[in-house]
Amino acid sequence: MEVAVIGAGYVGLVTAAGLARLGHTVRLAESDELRLAMLTKGESPIYEPGLQELLSEVIQSGALSLFSSNLDAVRGAAVVVIAVPTPQSASGAADTTIVEQVVSDIAPHLDLGAVIALKSTTPTDSFTRLQETLDHHSKGGHLVINPEFLREGAAVADFLKPDRIVLGVASDGAVERMTSLYADLGAPLVVTDPVSAGIIKYAANAFLATRISFANAIANVCEAVGANVRDVLLGMGFDRRIGFHFLDPGPGFGGSCLPKDTQALVALADEGGYDFALLRGVIDVNQQQMARVLSKVRRALNGSVAGRTVGVWGLAFKAGTDDVRESPAVWVAKELANEGAVVLAYDPRARVVDDGITQVGSALDAVRDADALVILTEWDEFQTVSLGELRTTMRGRVVVDARNLLDPEAVRRHGFTYLGVGR
């Protein structure tokens, strides 16, 4: 099938390469010249495990071709996937200005009966406006809400082995074509109306965020009563209805989705007259969790970090990605600098430009003569650093392990004060 994909961000690029791998002829349009230049050289502008290999394969085979113009890309396409940013507006709701601009630009150039699949979650009022644009300016284009459930650091795997495909349609015209688009994935298909499709995406992410904030809150209870959160979550997780996934305490959730989608869902519910207090609580716990990490460092350094050197391990919002959007690690590092600490940070992949954060080339460089170490992203390599070398490299003896990555007893045996999360 001839498919156009608009936007080569981590959703659009993975979707385009994945659809090309499925045998479709994919035309990918990207407006950012730098990003397009890298893609034209066959280089992936983002780091995702397996993406570079997949991209090279489908570009070499000719299954995937690149365009700077949306209009050129959509010509002859049976399906147009739109994966452009929907940033958070002031109210928290998704801002669909870019999506609406793209649809009105391409509408007159769409083939008869083309399907426009929106990867970005779209509020109801803008869905209606978009369908009207298609009704008035295209040859009967069908609009579909087709949310993505890709995790950063696992996006290619999640595309090729999805738990489910969700389609939000206002008419049956698009179902058959979208079903054949994804047929080779063999995943369960949930076909519903556009509003429900959008709520599936928001509710799934909100529930994942709720699990994380619950785990963090239970960790804080464990600290308050002297329990061990690892054992508590183990004892809970054997209950098949609870399980073990997504219950790892940490510095809070970050990334380009959970923070944005939780705020958007609270705003959406509020617009409809429902105060989603539970989800507001999840968001509050999350922000407090980052502040708790900061206060642990402050307390361990006798009440102030001013003038002290703090080594930070991890800046990415989670291991396996170079993405620092809404990263709790970056928030903590910046706050430490704002309070006068000298902040040395190391992350295997992520980079930040900030006057207050000196990024160095190794985990040990980040703790040289440091009064404290704060572990904020769960990169495996942090578990391989020799505790003996850590002791001789650091000046101080404080380790705040916000990911419960190290063995507390081993760290304490090396003369450190170990502060974990919930243990």
Residues that bind ligand UDX (CB under 6 A): 148-152, 205, 208, 212, 246-248, 250, 253-255, 257-258, 317-318
Closest to ligand UDX by CB, 278 or 306: 278
Q: Is 271 left (phi over 0), alpha (psi -120 to 50) or beta?
A: alpha
**Minimum distance of ligand UDX from residue 209's CB (angstroms):** 7
- What are the distances in angstroms from CA 168 to CA 173, 208, 372? 12, 21, 50
Is residue 97 a contact partner of residue 126, using CB atoms and an 8 Å limit? no
**Minimum distance of ligand UDX from residue 87's CB (angstroms):** 15
Chain-centre distance for alpha carbon 63: 27
Among 330, 224, 218, 211, residue whose Cα is nearest residue 282? 211
Closest to ligand UDX by CB, 248 or 371: 248
Strands in 309-313's sheet, in edge-to-edge order, are 357-359, 342-346, 309-313, 372-375, 398-401, 417-419
**CA–CA gap between residue 398 and residue 149 (Å, rounded):** 39
**Minimum distance of ligand UDX from residue 275's CB (angstroms):** 24
Q: Is 62 left (phi over 0), alpha (psi -120 to 50) or beta?
A: left
**Minimum distance of ligand UDX from residue 392's CB (angstroms):** 30
- The torsion of the CA quartet 184, 187, 190, 195, rounded to 10 degrees, works out to -80
Chain-centre distance for alpha carbon 2: 29
| 249-278 b/e (C-beta count within 10 Å ≥ 16 → b) | bbbbbbbbbbbbbbbbbbbbbeeeeeebee
Closest to ligand UDX by CB, 49 or 340: 49
Closest to ligand UDX by CB, 11 or 301: 11
Closest to ligand UDX by CB, 194 or 250: 250
**Minimum distance of ligand UDX from residue 61's CB (angstroms):** 28
Closest to ligand UDX by CB, 47 or 246: 246
**CA–CA gap between residue 82 and residue 117 (Å, rounded):** 6
Per annotation, catalytic residue among 144, 257, 269, 374:
257
Closest to ligand UDX by CB, 138 or 327: 327
**CA–CA gap between residue 367 and residue 372 (Å, rounded):** 8
**Minimum distance of ligand UDX from residue 230's CB (angstroms):** 13
Is residue 142 a contact partner of residue 113, using CB atoms and an 8 Å limit? yes
CB atoms within 10 A of CB 171: 10
Signed CA dihedral, 413, 414, 418, 422: sign only: negative
Among 156, 163, 113, 179, residue whose Cα is nearest residue 20? 156
CB atoms within 10 A of CB 17: 31
**CA–CA gap between residue 310 and residue 357 (Å, rounded):** 10
Closest to ligand UDX by CB, 252 or 396: 252
For residue 241, what are the contacts with CB-CB under 8 A and spacing of at least 6? none
257 included as an active-site residue: yes
**Minimum distance of ligand UDX from residue 177's CB (angstroms):** 23
**Minimum distance of ligand UDX from residue 153's CB (angstroms):** 6
Active-site positions read 257
